[in-house]
Homo-oligomer: A and B are copies of this chain.
Amino acid sequence: MPEARILIAQGGGPTAVINQSLVGAVLAAQRFPEVTAVYGARHGVRGIVDEDFVDLARETPQQLEAVAATPASALGSTRDKPDLAYCRAILKVLQAHGISHFLYIGGNDSSDTVRIVSDEARQAGHALRCIHVPKTIDNDLVGNDHTPGYASAARFVAQAFAGANLDNAALPGVYLGVVMGRHAGFLTAAAALGARYPDDGPHLVYLPERVFERERFLADVRATHQRLGRCVIAVSEGIHDASGEPIAAQLVQQAGGGVERDAHGNLQLSGTGALADLLCDLIKDQLKIKRVRGDTFGYLQRSFLGCVSDVDQREAREVGETALQFALRGDRDGSVAIQRCGDYAVRYELLPLEAVAGKTRVMEDVFIADSGNAVTDAFRQYLRPLLGSDMPQAHRLRGHPVAKLLG
């Protein structure tokens, strides 16, 4: 049996459980006698071309377990999107270090990088097994029931809206929370799991899968506020008009500012409170509601230390373990995918890279209410088991009224 030299890297936005997949792969490698090296590249593909490696086989199991429970990419991440020249530089380094197996933990863009590296290696005659290990809080990888990282971020969003709803009930007004998700509304939709009683918020949920119409939005808010005396709204950062132009981009342009794009050509939507402020101003101006507050959940929803779904943890770990097994015992490159096979149970498959790479899953129609401003029970049923055990619940007083004496 030829020796196996493994390189693992992490790319894209960190998640609460991405290190579970890393540690799952590292510890699983110990059970394969042919493995003679387990390296990690610092900051994703950038660390590969820079030859910036750490020896993961020298990490103690104790420390690895502690790192597994820590959010964000322990190896560091990157937003670099390799072109052909970059991929050839990657291959050159892999060959120099005798790497036979490459595992890249990441989302959409990372899966596309793995696809290119895989193609290039095959064309160059380099015997390299390439496995994409899924992660993304956006839950937007096709072919997956859901992706590691999504459930913990969804749990954060659900807990945040459960609390915001209580706060809004205590001091009534309009509360609007902007949630991450460029094209896929899965994370925003998770806000709905924060509601318990029929009059709990979020009362309105706006997803990038549906066209956002200002007048419709204002009418929705007005109706809810008139009915309940308050209104809690979940809005995806990726909401857009009928032409596909993001509402956030319209705002930035109206304000005369430039639009920042990343190496993948994606508009920067996070790390700014502009969208929430615009929508709050709109409500104040048009509906004459005085108390209107907006929060942008920003980086908290993907990095908050101490909000994690135990189901997500277990699955992310097993995805890493499974990726290592596919790499060493499988016969092809691919992308590990989670499939639901019970209520609730999952199994793992290896999909062709081209079936996942560069594609974006959005919320299925069955998950979105006909009104376009709410999710369906099918979505609640889909998400609930992912949130894990010990989801905190909000309780209210029974509130037995006392008779008025003065009138």
Q: Give A contacts to B, CB under 8 Å.
A: 10, 13-14, 39-40, 43, 51, 53-56, 58-60, 63, 66-67, 69-79, 92-93, 96-97, 159-160, 162-164, 166-167, 169-171, 175, 194, 270-274, 276-277, 280, 292-300, 302-307, 391-402, 404-407
Contact = CB atoms under 8 A, between A and B. Distances in A.
A331 B188 CA distance: 53
A296 B274 CA distance: 11
A402 B53 contact: yes
- Taking each of A78, A92, A305, A406, which has the highest tally of chain B beta carbons within 10 Å of its own beta carbon? A305
Contacts of A307: 306-307
Given A59-B397, A160-B300, A164-B303, A171 B14 contact: yes
The secondary-structure label for the interface of chain A is loop
Across chains A and B, which 6 residue pairs bring their CB atoms closest together, nearest first? Answer: A273-B273, A271-B293, A72-B166, A295-B298, A66-B395, A163-B303
Contact of A402 (B14, B39, B175, B396): B39
B273 A294 contact: yes
B96 A392 contact: no
A306 B170 contact: no
A394 B76 CA distance: 14
A159 B162 CA distance: 19
Given A97-B405, A273-B294, A305 B397 contact: no
Given A169-B76, A171-B78, A306-B392, A401 B54 contact: yes
Contacts of A96: 405-406
A257 to B, nearest CB: 8
Given A54-B397, A79-B171, A273-B294, A406 B159 contact: no
Contacts of A397: 40, 54, 56, 59, 63, 67, 74-75
B271 A294 contact: yes
Contacts of A299: 163-164, 167, 175, 293, 295
A297 B299 CA distance: 10
A406 B58 contact: no
A146 B72 CA distance: 32
A280 B73 CA distance: 24
Nearest to A178: B273
Contacts of A304: 159-160, 163
B69 A395 contact: yes
A71 B306 contact: no
A63 to B, nearest CB: 6
Contacts of A10: 170
